[in-house]
Every structure is written in structure tokens, then in C-alpha cells.
Amino acid sequence: MNWLIGVLRSITELKVGLADVVDILTVALLIYALLALLRGSRAMQMMWGIVAIAGLYLVASTLKLITLSTILGYLLAFLPIAIIVLFQQEIRRMLSAFGSTAWFPRGRGQDEGPVMINELALAVQALAAKRTGALIALERHDSLSVWADTGIALESRFSYDLILNIFIPGTPLHDGAVIIGGERIIAASCFLPLTTRHELSSELGSRHRAAIGLTEESDALVIVVSEETGIISLAVEQQLLRPLDETTLRNALAEHLYHLRPRREIDS
């Protein structure tokens, strides 16, 4: 009780200035950003586990449980290394967000986005009608060069016909993902990271898991065409939107890729 009274006295004697307020708000925002990043992921469960160990250590130290507090103390001593190992994916995403090219927006022609979206939606609908499996990742602010390097470089201008030809069954580029950046097809036959989430439906195959997996590590949009059902899906921000058709896919791409309100000529 005496230590609590001492803490209260020290708090009441504090002089808070503008710099202190800014400092506290900055730390609070960083903690909020971290929690938002971890929300709904396995890392959140691991973080609660670390908090539980730290809480148990405080209880053991208070109750003078020497053996338990010593063991937990050694565990907490390696906590910085454990955080780097356990949260490496989340750390990469956070650093990528800070270094995102969103700080330096790239200029696009007013009509480039709608034209590309229209052709892409038409191509995806054609693939779905033939039940041709496809996986198409669209780069937004985060660079997808790491995953583009796993495939075959194309660096070609986007076109409806090229997309259809890439996914012709039996061709060398059919397996894997196509990565599109801006108005160009960067690479094909790329490997994407698979999500490790266990709550996903067993009906979702490797293409859907790869699509969600990429959105866990970047802000990319990923289009999936199911080879078994022909259903069109769009992975965005770790969520899977499905089933989609040509119109709903076009509208979703306009909203998330270029932040455009779909125009009447696009919806026609």
C-alpha cells in the first residue's frame, strides 16, 4: 500500500508540458497502429501470451516465488529476440507501410485506370466462363517485386488478350500468379505466400490461400478464378470478397485500386 501511495504522490507532482503530451500521443498512436496491424492474426494470440508471461512474472516477483520468477525472468530476457522472430512478418508489413510509395503518389492519366479495370474485368469474366483457374495480383502502394522475382519477368503493357493467353492451360506461364503494376504486367508464374489461417473454409484451394496470404504481407489486391467452380473472388485487406461477376469486380477494383467511384460508362 505504501508503494501505491508513493506512486500517486509522484504522479500528482508531475509537470506535464506540450512535449510530454506530444510524446504520449505519439506512443499511443504507435501502439494503436500495432494493435490494428495484429488484429485478427495469429500474432495477436502470441502477443497475449507474452503479456500473460509478463503478468505472471510480476505476480511471482510480488509473492517472492523465487524459482518461478527466476525462470520467467530468463524468458523475458530473451523477449526482444523472440519478438523479432515471432513478429517478423508484421514488422515487415509495418516497415513497408512507413516506406510506402503512398507518400509519393504516382501520377496516372485520368482514363488509364478505368480502361485497364474494364479490360481486366472482361478478361477475368472470360476465364471464369471457361473455368480456367487464374491468380492475378495488382500492386498498389507496397512493392510486389519480392514475389515478382519468383516468376518469369514480362514487363509488358497490360492487355486483355495477353491475360487470356497467359492462363491457357498447359502453357509454361499458366501455373502461379500474374503480377500487375500500374498499366504493365510485371511477371507471370509467380509464387505467392500461403496464409496459415486455420479458420478458412476447406472449400478454398491453394489459389485462394495464396491470395489471402499476399494481402497479409502487402496491400495488394488479388483476383482469383476458381478452376473447379469458375467463381470469381477478390482478396483485399486479408478478406475474400466472393462471388463476384464482371460488374461487381469492376466496381471493387475501381474503389480499392484507384479510389474511384465507378463511372456510368464503366458500369455499362
pLDDT in tens, 169-183: 888 888 889 999 888
At 190 the pLDDT is: 93
At 223 the pLDDT is: 95
Residue numbers of the chain with a pLDDT score lower than 70: 1-16, 36-45, 86-113, 258-268
Domains of the chain and CATH, by start: 2-103 (no CATH), 112-267 (3.40.1700.10)
At 130 the pLDDT is: 92
What is the residue type of 30? L
Measured over the CA atoms of residue 167, residue 258, residue 221 and residue 97, the dihedral's sign is: positive
At 49 the pLDDT is: 79
Distance CA 61, CA 3 (A): 15
At 108 the pLDDT is: 46
At 11 the pLDDT is: 57
At 166 the pLDDT is: 92
Question: Do 180 and 186 touch, CB atoms closer than 8 A?
Answer: yes
Question: Do 145 and 214 touch, CB atoms closer than 8 A?
Answer: no
Q: Where are the beta strands (DSSP E) in the chain?
A: 134-139, 152-157, 177-181, 184-190, 221-225, 232-236, 239-244
At 13 the pLDDT is: 62
Q: Which residue has the cell 501455373?
A: 175
At 186 the pLDDT is: 93
At 113 the pLDDT is: 61
Q: Measured at the alpha carbon of residue 23, what is the angle toward residues 18 and 24, in degrees to the nearest 5? A: 100
At 90 the pLDDT is: 63
At 15 the pLDDT is: 67
For 92-139, write each residue's pLDDT tens digit: 666 665 555 444 444 444 445 678 899 999 999 999 999 999 999 999
Mean pLDDT over the full length of the chain: 79
